[in-house]
Amino acid sequence: MRYTAAGAPRKFDVHCSILFTDLPLLERPAAAAAAGFEAVEFWWPFGENPVPGDKEVDAFVSAIADSGVRLIGLNFIDLVPAGKGLASIPGREREFRDNIDVTVGIAERLGCRSLNALYGNRIPGADPAAQDALALENLALAAAAAARIDAQVVLEALNSIESPDYPITSAARAVEVIDAVGAPNLRFLCDLYHLARMGADLHGVIAEFAPYIGHVQIADAPERSRPGTGTLDFASLFAALDAVGYDGWIGLEYKDPEHDWSWMR
């Protein structure tokens, strides 16, 4: 959905892994289109399976293509028993690397140009330094694969309240990892909800790390609800994004069983 306020056009996409959850997953892109949206994004849609079968992949691709919306964001395999992603998980390197080809293949078929690689939780008994070294290697591999289709990989900071074992909890730490990898198409996923839960100065984050921002996601804090139901001032946050020249999609990654879009007006 495109919305213009004070002369600044903004592009909102629906995160169909958290919105329209009253519908089967494959029906959600069509629901987003019926609501007036042009684009959607998803977490990894195949559960714990890093390499789904052709029929599953084809069904997912068709659900999006047939609905007439664009896929603008997709996660690499994410919600697995080890935690939030596999990039830093020792012993599961093959799963993550096999998943790279599948995820990039889906993105290529649908014209998706932003892929989210969750870092992975700290694992009891594992050496944090070894996990970090593995993450750098895996993120470099993911970025190289994404570059083949002119796509970016984004790295997200989560809040430690909901994800206490996830080590990337600030924009600064995410950018440290991005710089360490050194891939030009590895960018920062600026999720304003997670940063707000960590007490970050959101305007300061946007201003300081604007050159790294590859995608933006929003939800109101503290309940991860739709804008206007919590504490965040989205008018000023959108103005801050305008001020640094961000003109990409803004992902609606919040919970709202009412599907009320009136806040945009």
Reported as a single tens digit per residue, the pLDDT across 63-108 is 999 999 999 999 999 988 778 999 999 999 999 999 999 999 999 9
Q: Of 164, 161, 208, 203, whose CA–CA distance to 188 is shortest?
A: 208
Residue 264 falls inside a structural domain: no
Residue 37 falls inside a structural domain: yes
* pTM recorded for the entire structure: 0.96
- Tell me the catalytic residues: 156, 253
Kind and range of the H or E element at 154? strand 152-156
Residue 137 falls inside a structural domain: yes
- Note the pLDDT tens digit of each residue in 133-158: 999 999 999 999 999 999 999 999 99
Residue 20 falls inside a structural domain: yes
Joined together, the tokens standing for residue 60 give 């997912």
Specify the number of domains making up the chain.
1
Q: What is the pLDDT of residue 2?
A: 58
Q: What is the pLDDT of residue 235?
A: 95
Secondary structure (3-state) at 238: helix
Q: Of 135, 138, 141, 63, whose CA–CA distance to 106 is shortest?
A: 63
Joined together, the tokens standing for residue 155 give 């790295």
Q: What is the pLDDT of residue 29?
A: 98
Residue 261 falls inside a structural domain: no
- Note the pLDDT tens digit of each residue in 13-61: 999 999 999 999 999 999 999 999 999 999 999 999 999 999 999 999 9
Residue 263 falls inside a structural domain: no
Structure confidence at residue 7 as a pLDDT band (50, 70, 90): very low
Instruction: Output DSSP code: residue 27.
Output: G
Residue 262 falls inside a structural domain: no
Q: What is the pLDDT of residue 5?
A: 44
Q: What is the pLDDT of residue 10?
A: 85
Q: What is the pLDDT of residue 265?
A: 82
**Which domain covers residue 97, as residue numbers?**
2-256
Please determine, for residue 4, whether its predicted confidence score (pLDDT) is greater than 50: no
- Note the pLDDT tens digit of each residue in 181-213: 999 999 999 999 999 999 999 999 999 999 999
Helices (H), 85-244: 93-110, 128-147, 171-181, 192-197, 202-209, 234-243
- CATH assignment of the domain containing 72: 3.20.20.150
Residue 59 falls inside a structural domain: yes
Question: For residues 249 and 247, what is the distance between their CA atoms, to the nearest angstrom?
Answer: 7
